[in-house]
């Protein structure tokens, strides 16, 4: 039982690697990281820096031979991430339509 508990929480060890803000370089406060999605062996964590207010998202994957972490700086706050995660991905047709709109000569007038 202890081994399972250890494995389930082992992703938290990887969070120690994400101890400082990649934008300003200052240490995150302990409450900066929020777990927002937990799926199978993946954990998605969102960080907000209390110093520069930047946001960072990380995916922590627990694999049989260790852990892997992928992260990126984002302009999405935690509420945005939680909302957008539930939405369906863009279709190819929507992407093409968006491309056409952005390239219209009068695009700036549409705003
Ligand atoms: Zn920062």
pLDDT digits (tens, 9 = 90+) for 27-75: 998 888 899 888 888 889 999 999 999 999 999 888 888 888 899 999 9
Between the CA of 36 and the centroid of ligand 1 the distance, in Å, is 20
> Is residue 96 assigned to a domain?
no
In the chain, which ranges are E strands?
33-39, 42-48, 55-63, 66-74
Domain that holds residue 6: 2-85
Nearest residue to 28 via CA among 16, 37, 36: 16
CA angle, residues 110, 81, 103, in degrees to nearest 5: 25
pLDDT at position 49 is 95
Number of domains in the chain: 1
> Is residue 72 assigned to a domain?
yes
Instruction: Choose between 5 and 94: higher pLDDT.
Output: 94
Between the CA of 23 and the centroid of ligand 1 the distance, in Å, is 5
pTM confidence score: 0.71
For residues 36 and 44, is the Cβ–Cβ distance under 8 A?
yes
Between the CA of 28 and the centroid of ligand 1 the distance, in Å, is 8
Between the CA of 92 and the centroid of ligand 1 the distance, in Å, is 35
Between the CA of 13 and the centroid of ligand 1 the distance, in Å, is 21
Query: How confident is the model over 86-106, as a mean pLDDT?
Result: 94
> Is residue 26 assigned to a domain?
yes
pLDDT at 19 > cutoff 50: yes
């Amino acid at each position: 039982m202890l081994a399972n508990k250890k494995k389930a929480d082992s992703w938290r060890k990887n969070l120690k690697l994400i101890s400082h803000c990649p934008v300003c370089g200052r240490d995150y406060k302990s409450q900066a990281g929020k777990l927002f999605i937990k799926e199978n062996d993946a954990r998605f964590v969102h960080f907000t820096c209390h110093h520069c207010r930047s946001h960072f998202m990380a995916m922590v994957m627990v694999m049989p031979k260790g852990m892997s972490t992928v992260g990126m700086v984002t302009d999405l706050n935690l509420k945005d991430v939680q909302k957008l995660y539930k939405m369906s991905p863009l279709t190819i047709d929507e992407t093409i339509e968006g491309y056409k709109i952005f390239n219209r000569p009068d695009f700036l007038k549409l705003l």
